[in-house]
Amino acid sequence: MWKWYDSKIIKIEDESSTTKRFWVEVEGVDKIDFQAGQFVTMDLPIHEKRLKRWRSYSIANAPDGTNILEFCIVLLEGGAATEYLFNEAKIGTAIRFKGPSGGFVLPDKIDSDLVMICTGTGVAPFRSMIHDLLNTKKSFKRIHLIFGTRYEEGILYREEFEKLVEEVPSFEYSIALSRATDWNGVKGYVHQIYMDQHEQSRPDVDFYICGWSNMIDEAVENLILKLGYDKSQVHYELYG
């Protein structure tokens, strides 16, 4: 059961021109318990009505036994919540939230390859999952992280994931840029990567998808109807 927590922002960093990383320290606890992939719902001072103040954001760091949480948030034009966080929030700003919540988590025992498909800040829950698997030395076969954005400048956590490719033989990292013209990698959308590399339907692979609804709808249709994967192999979470 979720509960309310009080926290304060202790660090803010630019991850791209439109994306910031926020770290909060939760007050009154030595550690904050959550599962990798979960989110919290912040109560931000942006409206008189309670429900119009609530915004949910995935936790971007892995559980580490501390009371620190990280969030990776993109600025939405006209979005009251992100405009508040980008333009008014600062070090020391109080953030009240409820949670952690959500069932977009990995099973305790993993018997399959994991294909994680995301766009933009949808990478946040996957970053949490990947680091949790590595930190706890949980058994897994392979992880293929597929990330999509418009331009090279918008590749989030790039150096971190490229380093994992070098250090973890069972980790694969693919990037698709939809609008970059001088990009040597995949030009287009995330769909062509998994459609090409995972076109042979197998029972020992699970797909996890996080992003806007149109991307998720297309991915689910591709995986189940076109490639023939069972719906039990496809897991997703909307954000935004």
pLDDT exceeds 60 at position 240: no
Please give the CATH topology (third level) of the domain spanning 113-238.
Answer: Rossmann fold (3.40.50)
For residue 19, the model assigns a pLDDT of: 97
Give the tens place of pLDDT for each residue, 11-58: 999 999 999 999 999 999 999 999 999 999 999 999 999 889 999 999
Domain covering 3-101: architecture: Beta Barrel (2.40)
Is there a shared CATH topology between the 3-101 domain and the 113-238 domain? no
The reply to whether the predicted model has a pTM over 0.75 is: yes
Please name every residue paired with 208 in a beta bridge, in sequence order, or none if there are none. Answer: 116, 235
Torsion of CA 226, 227, 233, 236, to 10 degrees: -50
Mean pLDDT, all residues of the chain: 95
Give the tens place of pLDDT for each residue, 95-127: 999 999 999 999 999 999 999 999 999 999 999
φ, ψ at 131 (rounded to 5°): -70, -30
Sheet holding 19-26, edge to edge: 54-58, 39-43, 94-101, 3-16, 19-26, 68-74
Domain boundaries, the chain: 3-101, 113-238
